[in-house]
Amino acid sequence: MKYKLRISIAALMLVCVALVMGSCGTTSADILITNASVQTVDAQGTVAEAVAIADEKIIYVGDAAGADAYVNDDTKVIDMKGGTVMPGMVDSHMHPAMSAAAYMYEISLHTVTADVDSYLKVIDTFVKEHPDLEVYSGAGFMRSVFDTVGPRKEMLDAISPDKPIILTSVDGHSLWANSKALELAGITKDTPNPKGGVIQHDPKTGEPSGLLQESAKDLVADLQPEYTKQQYKDAILWLQDWFNSVGLTTIFDAMIPIDNPNYYEAYQELAEDGQLTLRIRGAWYMYPEMGAENYEANIDKAIELSKEFDTPYFQVNAFKFFADQVIEEETGYLSEPYLNRDDNWKGIKVWDDEVMADLFTKIDKAGFQIHVHQIGDAAATYTLDALEKVVAANGERDSRHTFAHVQMISDKDADRMAELKMNAVIAPYWMNMDDYYWELYYPMLGKDRVNKMYPAKSLIDKGINTAVHCDFFVTEPDAGWLFYSAMTRTVPQKIIDMGYGEAAKDIIRTTDINYPITQGVNGPLPPFDERLSLDEIIKASTYAGAYANFMEKDNGSIEVGKNADIIAFPDNLHKLDIEAISEISPVLTIFDGKVVFDAEEK
């Protein structure tokens, strides 16, 4: 198959590189990138001028003069005119195939102005344009637009009284349903909350209001559309073109369903056929609702399936668990109660301590990584307790278990992460004061806790390998947004403009840490010393992501012998004004030594 041919060519290439001048001679480059600020992200932080590529591999990194020896008549020479070249970017936690299918086949509210009227207009248009669908599904509404009870079913009833509408929130933790969907699911005012979930009710009538939170979403699961393997393939191919254009060359699918072969076989067949221009790693999804009697059987099944995924382009080497949910739904698990309630509510603890530790131990013993959704500080504590039990049972190994999100964590628990040699996968996109901060987090957590969210620099300083993610479809990947928010802990102006339309002119936005912050101001999120430098965010989005996924020997830095996954920006990023950083976008993406995105050809 094509990927096997690639491996044999790569092996021969490494021999030639090792010999440098011998029977193979000096290798001529297929592509030479020169006159650049090459951020190699190697151990020494080397900045070079040129990179030569042949047969999928990097064969030269150094000054421009030394690169001339690798040029022949067939070499494609790219003069960057001082622009930045860096390794291809790695996103270490997202939901690509699931989200791509939703974008292609369902109602998308992700880029709609964040207000009710705009949402309803898009929904209404979709319903009118697809009269033959039996169910209208979609995603992307922001919870901060609505009160704590959430969006109401009556809003959707006015658009479709006879067919179900089910829309997932942008964070994926709640679902907006119309009356028909609730009726078909058998949800009434007397339906009890499922374990780990909440059915919101109208405060006046007691009837279901239309919002289903966390596991309550499963009550309408049978209404969700199912996709064929070909539909998933088409969605993945569409998605990778987009992702290549924003500089991504490696992604991590954080929730691969064990019981959906159409989903994972789509990845595998594309990988075997040599059609992927992304390196995809992933985690099998474990959740309590699958039933205690099925836990071990599902783990065994997933481990056997993983053995079949042996290409360099698609592998599943981890298992995903939720330790808690999210603060905006009052379901993140906290050590102290939510302040907006008077019932001592601390959120949802998803797993029993013993069950979690037992499953972790089985997975770790099999050599797989444990990848945990962790939002609240109490979620970190009990999960770390379980991971320490794993080490006691199995002994130490290079496990690189992972916390994704890390919204709240105590300093003591961050130290425990470092001792366990864990990864932290963080989302700089969310590290700012925005509607979620003012409308949800601040009243729920209070000033002291809300201004200690989203550590970044402190995790790196503790020696924790710190990678990044966008959690797509929660956030769409964007290098400018990622770098800017990591460096300023502030939302870029372009994101405010996109999200609020005409209303954006009335929003106060500042990066000044001395600006008087009052209700509604979009300013830098404390603590200010959690801001990252440009070099730190470049490393977090490249080498650290490769390391988090056990790929650092072949990816994540620009070094001779490594895979030629490289991106380029037209400007020297280190010379740009900070506001200009928010606007950066790659003009070139190379994957496996081939150009997969060129802005000049678009």
Q: How far apart are the first and last CA of the chain?
A: 31
- Which fold is adopted by the domain 323-421? Rossmann fold (3.40.50)
Query: CA 595: distance to chain centroid?
Result: 24
Q: How many CB atoms within 10 Å of residue 348?
A: 24
Mean pLDDT of 464-471: 98
- pLDDT bin (cut points 50, 70, 90) of residue 214 is confident
Mean pLDDT of 434-452: 95
Q: Are 201 and 207 in contact (CB under 8 A)?
A: yes
Mean pLDDT of 69-74: 96
Buried b (16+ CB within 10 A) or exposed e, 411-432: eebbebbbebebbbbbbbbbbb
Query: What is the amino acid identity at position 249?
Result: T
pLDDT of residue 80: 98
* Angle at the Cα of 264 from the Cα atoms of 261 and 266, rounded to 5 degrees: 95
Helices 2-19 + 261-272 axis angle, to 10: 50
Task: Map out the domains of the chain as residue ranges.
Answer: 2-87+557-601, 89-106+227-320, 108-223, 323-421, 424-432+448-535
Q: Are 56 and 12 in contact (CB under 8 A)?
A: no
**Of 145, 174, 93, whose CA–CA distance to 436 is shortest?**
145
Buried b (16+ CB within 10 A) or exposed e, 88-126: bbbbbbbbbbbbbbbbebbbbbbebbbeeeebbebbeeb
- CB-side exposure of 42: number of CA atoms within 13 Å? 13
**Of 114, 113, 139, whose CA–CA distance to 126 is shortest?**
139
Q: Are 566 and 51 in contact (CB under 8 A)?
A: yes
Q: Which residues pair with 279 in a beta bridge?
A: 250
Run of H or E residues at 2: helix 2-19
Output the CA torsion sign for 407, 441, 95, 289. positive
- Which fold is adopted by the domain 89-106+227-320? TIM Barrel (3.20.20)
- pLDDT bin (cut points 50, 70, 90) of residue 177 is very high
For the ranges 9-13, 52-56, 510-514, the lowest mean pLDDT is seen at: 9-13
Run of H or E residues at 412: helix 411-419
Q: 338 phi and psi, to 5 degrees?
A: -65, 135
Instruction: Name the percent of the chain lying above pLDDT 70.
Output: 96
Q: 239 phi and psi, to 5 degrees?
A: -65, -40
Helices 261-272 + 96-105 axis angle, to 10: 100
pLDDT of residue 602: 67
Q: Are 557 and 450 in contact (CB under 8 A)?
A: no
| CATH number 1.20.1440.120 is the correct assignment for the domain at 108-223 | no
**How, if at all, do strands 165-169 and 594-598 pair?**
unpaired
* Angle at the Cα of 269 from the Cα atoms of 268 and 272, rounded to 5 degrees: 85
Tell me: the pLDDT tens digits for 305-320?
999 999 999 999 999 9
Tell me: the pLDDT tens digits for 112-164?
888 899 999 999 999 999 999 999 999 889 888 888 888 999 999 999 999 99
pLDDT score of 12 more than 70 = no
pLDDT of residue 26: 65
For the ranges 94-108, 291-305, 310-324, 355-369, the lowest mean pLDDT is seen at: 94-108
Q: Are 378 and 369 in contact (CB under 8 A)?
A: no
* Angle at the Cα of 125 from the Cα atoms of 501 and 132, rounded to 5 degrees: 155
132: exposed, middle or buried (Cβ count in 10 Å: 0-12, 13-18, 19+) = exposed
Q: 190 phi and psi, to 5 degrees?
A: -95, -5
pLDDT score of 10 more than 60 = no
* DSSP E strand boundaries for 464-551: 465-468
Output the CA torsion sign for 316, 349, 456, 531. positive
Tell me how far apart the alpha carbons of residues 390 and 376 are, in angstroms, rounded to a whole number: 22
Q: How many CB atoms within 10 Å of residue 18?
A: 11
Average pLDDT, the chain: 93
CA distance to 20, 50, 476, 571, per residue, from 566 (Å): 22, 12, 20, 15
pLDDT of residue 53: 98
Q: Are 461 and 503 in contact (CB under 8 A)?
A: no
Tell me: the pLDDT tens digits for 524-574?
999 999 999 999 999 999 999 999 999 999 999 999 999 999 999 999 999
Architecture of domain 2-87+557-601: Roll (2.30)
**How, if at all, do strands 402-405 and 423-426 pair?**
parallel
